[in-house]
Chain A
Amino acid sequence: MEFSADLFISLFFHTLGYWWVIIPSIFLGLIVGAIPGFSAANTIIILLPLTLVMNVEVGLIFMVALYCSSRMGAGIPAILVNIPGTAGAAATPLDGYPMTKAGRAQQALAISFVSSTFGGLLTTVVALLTMPWLARLSFYMHSVEMIVVMLFGISLIATIAARDTLKGLIAGFFGLMIGAIGADHVYATPRGTFGLLELYDGIPLIPALVGLFAVSEAFLMIEGESILSQHGKDMIRRSGWAATMEGARIALSRWWHITWNSLIGLVIGVIPGAGASIASFVAYQQSRTYSKTPELYGTGHPEGLIAPESANNGVTSGTLIPLMILGIPGGATAAIMLVVMQYHGVILGPALFANYPELGYGVFMAMAVTYLIMIFTILPLARYMSRVTLLSTVYMSPLVIAFTLVGSFVPREYMFDMYLGLAFGVIGYVARKTGYHVAAILIGVILGPLLEQYFLRALRMSDGDLMVLFSSKIGNVLWVLLFVSVTFSLVVQHRRRTVVPSQSTVE
């Protein structure tokens, strides 16, 4: 797979010539990413007939641009109204929303946009340069290694629980139990399904996300006329372009943070079956663990926003590597791209890069160009998007309920999922009113079933021998890293508690 500078430059300008496809796709992606229930994957499915009649190159650029921008779009409602557009943005509101409530929505959006685009751009370049080696990574990540990766994400529950240990852990383990609903992975025995067929496949993520975050938030936000304090409103009204510039400056000054977390996203994205939600939780946990100011996480700390946003955009480039090199899609959107490419007779694998480099490398170049265009088209909009927070809760709350509950219907088209969204809304409302962190519940719901799946697979392969968990070299290295990470976090927390006994607690 030869890759020369000439090819790089000519591909760049060639792809830039498709701006007329990229810009509309970016805006479409932002919309579908921002609405819970919609995603790049189901939008591409809806528009599949259109994609199939397009020239393969145009079709791929369209899909790639939509994919990248939808990832960024999911973070917008997470920051503005505490409602992640997809599970991949579930860690974004942890610090994004407190920034909004403090009247710093515009700054938060700018931080998110800059982290997403630079994280995405960086990982795309890294993916281009290291594709053959990264593609092999998926061969080394077996069930045991994946168990440890999942545990990295789940250990975020312990981080959240640091503020109220018992309540945080109860919320996390309750989420893990809810995530265990559904048929078991080996014999398909129904478990905890209340006899409902709709739950045999497990708890669908979108109704859980919609209920825990959106519906509960809609019932809480009515306690004020606006989600902002008077000071926050004044700040938003007064803010000019300076807030966007300040946000961009904050993000760029933490370039190392963006680099580190987007690379976490890239590596997790390469592993088929792992996804943006795992990457963003792992990145947030890592970011907090090694931060000099971990006590600020959850209170509107820019680093807590940069970590998940740069990681989930890093995943985007990662998921395409096994697709292009091995023909194994790293995620749902990549799987649909595979269908489109196969329809056009494109044979994936190393031969693609040798015979049709403009197509093989072109996919990654399309991603890079999309990120470049995005920063110029979306960043100026932060100022106007942040104005949404000035909307009275009289209008905002019913709009959030109606459009997110209907969004929970979209992925499976079951009316049942709307009821489920409402049920999760009640759980979310009670949890938030009584100090149980809904993010801890959601982490359990998302990562619990994946962890169980890998755990059972490992046990089946070893005939039930638990020592299989420590049987691989990479796995053991990851175990050590997990141990160091959790211990380090606990030690730092303990030291800070000793130094500052009255640590502030903000949900």
Chain B
Amino acid sequence: MSAADKKKGVGADLIIPAAALVFTLYYFWSIWNSPWTAQVSAFFIGSILIVLIVAFTLKTAIALYRKEAHLGVGELLAPRSLLSVRIGLLMMTIGYVIVIRWAGFTLTTGVFLFGAMLILGRGRRKRLIAIVSIAMALSGYLLFIVAFETRFPRGPFEELMRSLF
């Protein structure tokens, strides 16, 4: 293994501190003209957080300067072979959260489970996946909406059931 291969990718490690820093600065901006009661704990916690982030950035910079690390984000996306599957699952999840409002819990859950399982199973066992998806979506409907009367998002399926029973 070459020295370059031994270097640790630290780019991904900086994402959380960067997000924390941006959020903290935004938070400070949002309370700048507020009464002291709104500011006191946030300024205290935020200041410590900024000090910690600065220390972490310095530590990372030193590692980069010493060539012990590089700014790659490979760790975040590893294993690469699963990248397309992971992106597919993420897209399905985003779609699920957006569509459930209109299509309702049962229909959206059924379609999401089928699609996501198909992506993860790489297109294999379609029939079993279809049966599991339908069974789980209907079980969810019976447990949460019929039995617990939870106000999950309602769509065509729930309306149809309501008109039938």
Report the stretch among A169-177, A270-278, A303-311 that lies at the interface. A169-177
**41-60 of chain B: CB within 8 A of chain A:** 41-42, 45-46, 48-49, 52-53, 55-56, 59
When chains A and B are docked, how far (Å) is the Cα of A108 from the Cα of B76? 30
Are A185 and B37 neighbours in the complex by a CB distance under 8 Å?
yes
**96-149 of chain B: CB within 8 A of chain A:** 96-97, 100-101, 105, 109, 112-113, 116-117, 120-121, 129, 132, 136, 140, 143-144, 148-149
| A170: nearest chain-B partner, CB-CB | B52
Instruction: Report the minimal beta-carbon distance from B150 to chain A, rounded to whole angstroms.
Output: 6
Beyond A170-B49, A177-B20, A192-B23, whether A398 also contacts B112 by CB under 8 A is yes
**B17 contacts the other chain (CB 8 A):** yes
Main secondary structure of the interface of B (DSSP, over half): helix
Are A422 and B20 neighbours in the complex by a CB distance under 8 Å?
no
| B60: nearest chain-A partner, CB-CB | A166
When chains A and B are docked, how far (Å) is the Cα of A111 from the Cα of B35? 49
- Per the CB 8 Å criterion, the residue count for chain A at the interface is 63
Are B113 and A402 neighbours in the complex by a CB distance under 8 Å?
yes
Are A433 and B27 neighbours in the complex by a CB distance under 8 Å?
no
Are B97 and A177 neighbours in the complex by a CB distance under 8 Å?
no
When chains A and B are docked, how far (Å) is the Cα of A397 from the Cα of B42? 37
| B10: nearest chain-A partner, CB-CB | A434
Are A186 and B12 neighbours in the complex by a CB distance under 8 Å?
no
**B163 contacts the other chain (CB 8 A):** no
| B97: nearest chain-A partner, CB-CB | A418
Are B27 and A191 neighbours in the complex by a CB distance under 8 Å?
yes
Are B120 and A177 neighbours in the complex by a CB distance under 8 Å?
no
Are A219 and B89 neighbours in the complex by a CB distance under 8 Å?
yes
Give which listed residue, B53, B96, B132, contacts A170 with CB less than 8 A: B53
Q: Which residues of B contact A171 (CB under 8 A)?
A: 16
When chains A and B are docked, how far (Å) is the Cα of A133 from the Cα of B47? 42
Give which listed residue, B40, B59, B75, B152, contacts A166 with CB less than 8 A: B59
**A180 contacts the other chain (CB 8 A):** yes
Beyond A399-B113, A401-B96, whether A189 also contacts B45 by CB under 8 A is no
Beyond A186-B35, A397-B89, A418-B97, whether A409 also contacts B52 by CB under 8 A is no
Are B153 and A174 neighbours in the complex by a CB distance under 8 Å?
no
When chains A and B are docked, how far (Å) is the Cα of A167 from the Cα of B148? 42
Q: Which residues of A contact B19 (CB under 8 A)?
A: 174, 427
Give which listed residue, B45, B75, B79, contacts A177 with CB less than 8 A: B45
When chains A and B are docked, how far (Å) is the Cα of A129 from the Cα of B46? 46
Are A173 and B89 neighbours in the complex by a CB distance under 8 Å?
no
Instruction: Report the minimal beta-carbon distance from B10 to chain A, rounded to whole angstroms.
Output: 9
Interchain residue pairs with CB less than 8 A apart (5): A166-B56, A177-B24, A177-B49, A402-B96, A425-B93
